[in-house]
Amino acid sequence: MDQIRLTGIRATGKHGVLDFEHERAQTFVVDATLFLDLAAAGRSDDLNDTVDYGAVAKGIVAIIEGEHVDLIEKLANRIVGMILGFPAVCRTQVTVHKPNAPITVPFDDVSVTVERSRETVDSPSRERSSEHGQVHHAIIAMGGNQGDVTATLRDAVRCIDGLPSTQVTGVSPLYRTDAWGMPEGTAEFRNAVVSVDTRLSAAELLAGLQRIEASHGRVRTDHWTSRTLDLDIIDFDGQESADPDLTLPHPRAWQRAFVLGPWLALEPDAELGGAHAGSVAQLLHETSDRDHIDEIADDWMVAGAQDPIVRDSDIGTSADDVDAIDDADSVESIDSIEFPEGTAASKAAAAAAAKPGPASRRAVISLDSVSTDAEHQFRQAIVAIDALPGNQVEGISPLYHVSQVDDYPDKMAAVMQISTRMDARELIGALESVSSSISDDLDLDLVDMEGVVRNEPDCMVPWPSAREHAAVLAPWFDMDPDAKLGRDPVAFLLAMAPDAAQVGMLTDNWIIGDTL
């Protein structure tokens, strides 16, 4: 049988029987051999006919860094279960090395090797295998009140998006929350909610969030204290769990306006399960602290965005309110709930119900970067663009490699399609802000905008050179085979592009973190 081998995958985790091993991370090294039939991949040259070994490697790291186990036998079995979650894998052999094991005599290494096939794997492993192959939808609440909180939350979103096999799919507006129930003089909080799609288990996701908290200076003490960053899983595929380490759904989410308000703005039809099940809109209406939250920014994911403080007393002059309700026809009631006029809950409901009007246009944006971290940069940019007011991501192309000539470095490229209520000049300016906030290596260009033709030095739409660049045309064609640039089919322009031989698709499932 054909084989794929991964050797020397290293990560740190808190695994072992002794007490200090529960608290102090140590290095674990994993070797994995995947047995599968590679004949189809050899003929097709298509990633879908094999296994994305980058995704396997990330899965191994996630398990090592995840939930504690006493025995490396258990750790190896978890990794086996994850690998067998890839349908193409028939059998796998996994060796877990513990080079710093607490042994009192000289030694070189301690390792455990486990080999399993689909036919012999036990039921619990099969269940874990299925779990790691499945994409879960989760809601994560974010908050903090120490330091530059907006910058911290912004970086936390990017860190969450960088977790293995995880993709941020939505970011709520930013909210100001009174330090309700805390000592007088306590700094007010900033809060937001993000939605993610992930192949991690709930426990692995929690472990990742706790690492992000720690990296931003979070020290876990009492519940009712100030903190630099707080990340909580609110909902995970609607699952219910009474595990004291991770209760699902979050046991207090139903009564927290600073969770429900941002969640409602992000997902107007959201439902919370569990003992206090109900629509998020209704639960928000019933909270006692609904008047202690205010939306302050919906473009906060872009560095340098304004962070105005909006209070209930400012109603009638707030730009946020005007944007949310300037078109009365675009605002609809949510589940026929009448929120008290002028409250934060009513503003959240109105903002959540606002729908893009006729001015919404389709726009195509190209992404390219010479950085070795281009994939992560692209994902950060997609999250930030989707979070801009009036924007909605509608499509994302496969990830492409572009071979350069004349001593220029190779680069990565992709294309995304959005619907936007921005005009062309505003969108170009926003793209410049997004790219500058991420990396100097990242280029974001407005390639085309529905119904718009501009020929000004700082606003050229369609992008003139796009017709000749396969780095734009190839991913665009893969995303939308019927696309046209002006009157010309993108397929035709790609066939005529002088650099068509210099581009090649790397992967079409990179957006949830599985890359080469």
HEC sequence for 3-45: EEEEEEEEEEECCCCCHHHHHCCEEEEEEEEEEECCHHHHHHC
Which residues, other chains included, contact 92 with Cβ-Cβ below 8 Å and sequence gap of 6+? Answer: 32, 33, 34, 35, 80, 83, 84, 115, 116, 117
Q: Cβ of 454: how many Cβ atoms within 10 Å?
A: 15
> CA-CA distance, 416 to 215, in Å (whole number)?
31
Side chain identity at residue 72, one-letter code: I
Nearest to 135 by CA among 212, 267, 237, 19: 237
Confirm whether 74 is a catalytic residue: no
Q: Are 207 and 67 in contact (CB under 8 A)?
A: yes
Side chain identity at residue 435, one-letter code: S
> CA-CA distance, 402 to 184, in Å (whole number)?
57
| Catalytic-role residue among 58, 98, 347, 411 | 98
> CA-CA distance, 314 to 62, in Å (whole number)?
46
Q: Is 69 helix (H, G, I), strand (E, B) or coil?
A: coil
Structure tokens at 317: 């002059």
Which residues have a catalytic role annotated?
98
